[in-house]
Amino acid sequence: MIGGVVASAAFETMNRAFAFYIAHFPTYKLVYGAFASIPIFLLWVYLSWLTILIGALIAASLSNWRGSTIARASPAMLFYCALRVLKQMSDGLSDGTVQTVPALSARLNTGYDVLEEVLEKLAQIGVVRKLSGNGWAMIRDAEHVQLGELYRCFVLDMTTLPAAESGEGEEIRAWLERTEQRIADDAAATLRDLYAGIGRDA
């Protein structure tokens, strides 16, 4: 909507400026003579498409200006966003509601780039699936998604670490593995437990 308004205003401004130039600076006739209409038409086409592309660029960039998602989101932010996204998808799971990135972006005030990264990660661990078109659906019930699994996916993903090294590298990795296991034990609760608690608090 905003991109269209900007493009329309810019297009009208460009037309007026172009008409003013043609009317007050007819020097192009000295160069092209009787064929002056051809380069003038080509120049007008070029400026028109340039204006349209600028409007499209603004429309495509609007999602990155939502909230505070201009900078790359931290793992904690992605984890928080994933819990909110899954809450929306879980609420619509019973009636078969298909979520889209634009709808989630408007509802959660989160940029497209962050939502797409979150959904891709959730798809990798088999929690959601991309449907034909732009839709996304939750394919596991909230009762069967543990918070520890999501935490490991977004915050403490041991699979992204390099291979174990001797010395301090091996000791640090062993400590991280123990920490991951403790987190998994403490976060055995499921999404349903979390969302039920939110409902009671409300």
Highest mean pLDDT among 9-18, 165-174, 191-200: 9-18
With 0-12 CB in 10 A as exposed, 13-18 as middle and 19+ as buried, what is 175?
exposed
Tens of pLDDT, residue by residue over 119-166, are 999 999 999 999 887 889 898 888 889 888 888 888 877 666 666 566
42 and 118: one domain?
no
Residue 156 sits at the vertex; the CA angle it makes with 152 and 160, to the nearest 5 degrees, is: 100
Residue ranges making up the domain that contains 25: 2-65
- Residue 169 included in any domain: yes
- pTM assigned to the model: 0.61
More confident residue, 136 or 197: 136
Tens of pLDDT, residue by residue over 35-63, are 777 888 888 888 888 888 887 777 766 65
- Residue 70 included in any domain: no
Q: Could you tell me the pLDDT band of residue 68, with boundaries at 50, 70 and 90?
A: very low
Domain boundary among 65, 83, 114: 65
Q: How far is CA 9 from the centre of its chain?
A: 27
